[in-house]
Amino acid sequence: MRIATWNVNSITARLPRLLAWLENTGTDVLCVQETKCSDEQFPYDQLRELGYEAAVNATGRWNGVALLSKVGLEDVTPGLAGGPDYEGVQEPRAVSATCGPVRVWSVYVPNGREIDHAHFAYKLQWFEALKAAVAEDAAGSRPFAVLGDFNVAPTDDDVWDTSVFEGMTHVTPAERAALAALREAGLSDVVPRPLKYDKPFTYWDYRQLCFPKNKGMRIDLVYGNEPFSKAVSDAYVDREERKGKGASDHAPVVVDLDV
């Protein structure tokens, strides 16, 4: 079974590449972030032609998450129960479902913007709510994973130059502590480091030739419980999909399971 996560940075803009990637890779379940569309605009028909059902939590031009599955979608839960609002709205940042033998979440953790911004406090509150929401599934006997764009680099090795990020979000002790607390719910990072290269980044800014210069960050993660982690047979970042015209600024992260 092949499960992946990919921040597509607009599913409408990325649709031709997304459809081709799904067909070429044979992915069974894809967790999508930053759909940037309403439910009515979501490409259900095109995905259905490839054999994918879709569970979507999307409300408009910002944020939005989805689960695409060829192995079934059951017990779909849109949103984050107990999650905080931001400016009076619970943003569409989470969706979960059972896909065949596994239970998965697709999450798009708030960016945080700046350390002294209200969005940063919201980000930490969102992490607390996520930990509470996944605790039961994480402790269960069924393979379970939270996949997505966590907007946190877990260690200094997960950014191209730590000095560049001094005083900025994504690398602060508070954010890394929130990520560590999530792991304490019974989850672990299932993508090994190093992979086939020293810096398995997943995100590179469009500006200043960051991708050709490999000035990136590893912020797209797959956190699985013990049954999920034990079933992992391979994992990789698909850097090729970050190349070329019309690419997202994130690369897919792919995990193969023996289940």
Residues carrying an active site annotation: 108, 149, 250
Q: How many CA atoms lie within 13 A of 100 on its CB side?
A: 15
How far apart CA 161 and CA 182 sit, in angstroms, is 25
How far apart CA 172 and CA 114 sit, in angstroms, is 11
Report which DSSP code applies to 14: H
Q: Are 200 and 239 in contact (CB under 8 A)?
A: no
Question: CB neighbours (10 Å) of residue 50?
Answer: 12
Task: Characterize the bridge pairing of strands 188-189 and 232-237.
Answer: unpaired
Residues 6+ apart with CB under 8 A from 198: none
Q: Which residues of 183-205 are buried (b: 16+ CB within 10 A; e: fewer)?
A: eebbbebbbeeeeeeebbbbbbe
How far apart CA 27 and CA 154 sit, in angstroms, is 26
How far apart CA 149 and CA 94 sit, in angstroms, is 11
3-state secondary structure at position 120: helix
Q: Are 50 and 22 in contact (CB under 8 A)?
A: yes
